[in-house]
Amino acid sequence: MKSVRTIEGLKANDLRLAELIEQGEPAILKDVAREWPLVRKGLEGPKAVADYLAGFDAGRPVVGYTGAAEIGGRFFYNDDLTGLNFEARRVPLSDFLAQVLDQLGEEKAPSFYIGSTDIDQYLPGLGETNGLPSALPPFEQYPPSVGIWIGNRTIASTHYDFSNNIACNLVGHRRFTLFAPDQIENLYPGPLDPTPSGQVVSLVDLRDPDYERFPRFRQALDAAQVAELEPGDLLIYPAMWWHNVEALDPFNVMINYWWNAVPRFIDTPMITLKHGLLSLRHRPEHEKEAWRALFDFYVFGGEEQATAHLPEHAHGPLANDEVTARRLRSELLDRMNR
């Protein structure tokens, strides 16, 4: 494993996010959020943070996740992969924060976290002084989803996100272990359904890898990058990078920004993957190779590769606009419902 590169001296208003993402590697943006009020409250202690957050509480119940002390903070599956090792329920934010505070001194405390909760809906106003500028490119063109994570010592098992990500570590310390998308085979992905939080996760416990069961995970670790984040640090990494996230202190807060530099009308590729399982996976190998060539030409090739020889009026489904997207979606739905 190697350390994620660190970039120092940047300010929130000066971040060139598109350029950083295009570099194709994670980066720690050191101390960018150091002066945010939430970071300063964190230096006063957990209760000061909880009181500060309560001041923004819109009164809407949040989804709180709780796991027994025995899971060691790792939100994951049960032993036979038929369910999960934690429970989720809607609770008032103040009640959940009180639970976390009550357990601060306990050696074997349950695991608590609130995950990816939209701050505009649940904590309106918090992001105005504890967030990145909304006019920051590319956010003015591709508005991000902004969510907050709150909890004690927890582990988000190795997974990927569909979107580019900026993780703003504001209270407590976190460790991200990141793997490039090409490491998927070495990460031993779990079931597509169910999943602990919507995304496929690796079956390997990073704390104690079972190399007899998962021998290729050694190769993943050789290629891994580790980011040790202090309060006020930001971590930026491209979409589809796998990441294991450890919250290391008794009380932790992080705000995440997710975005894709594509128009809103473009669907998630997971739909394509699932339809591929239905339509391609079990075909003969020579057919799959032929379809691979078609996908390379129409989907993975250059933007103009499939249209350069066609007049514009003949682009049909190859056109990149909202009207074409709606027509394609309607055609596919009609086809799937037959």
pLDDT tens-digit map of 100-111: 999 998 888 999
pLDDT above 90 coverage of the chain, percent: 80
Peptide bond into 269 cis (omega under 30): no
What pLDDT score was predicted for residue 335? Answer: 81
**Residue 164 per-residue DSSP state:** E
Record: fold of 2-259:
Jelly Rolls (2.60.120)
**Considering the entire predicted model, what is its pTM?**
0.92
What pLDDT score was predicted for residue 216? Answer: 97
Residue for token digits 């970071």? 39
What pLDDT score was predicted for residue 330? Answer: 87
Quick: pLDDT tens for 300-319: 988 788 888 888 888 888 88
pLDDT higher than threshold 90 for residue 249: yes
- How far is it, in rounded angstroms, from Cα 157 to Cα 203? 8
What pLDDT score was predicted for residue 200? Answer: 93
1 Cβ partners below 8 Å, 6+ apart? Answer: 177, 221, 222, 224, 225, 226
Mean pLDDT in residue range 58-66: 96
Mean pLDDT in residue range 47-56: 96
* Antiparallel, parallel or unpaired: β 225-229 and 6-7: unpaired
The answer to whether the CB of 150 falls within 8 A of the CB of 53 is: yes
pLDDT higher than threshold 80 for residue 338: no
What pLDDT score was predicted for residue 337? Answer: 80
The backbone torsions φ and ψ at residue 115, rounded to the nearest 5 degrees and listed phi first, read -110, 135
Break the chain into its structural domains and give their ranges. 2-259, 269-336
pLDDT above 70 coverage of the chain, percent: 100
Least reliable range by pLDDT among 7-11, 243-247, 268-272, 290-294 = 268-272
The answer to whether the CB of 242 falls within 8 A of the CB of 184 is: yes
Q: Which two tokens stand for residue 123?
A: 């904590």
Q: Please name which of 212, 201, 303 lies closest in space to residue 243, comparing C-alpha atoms.
A: 201
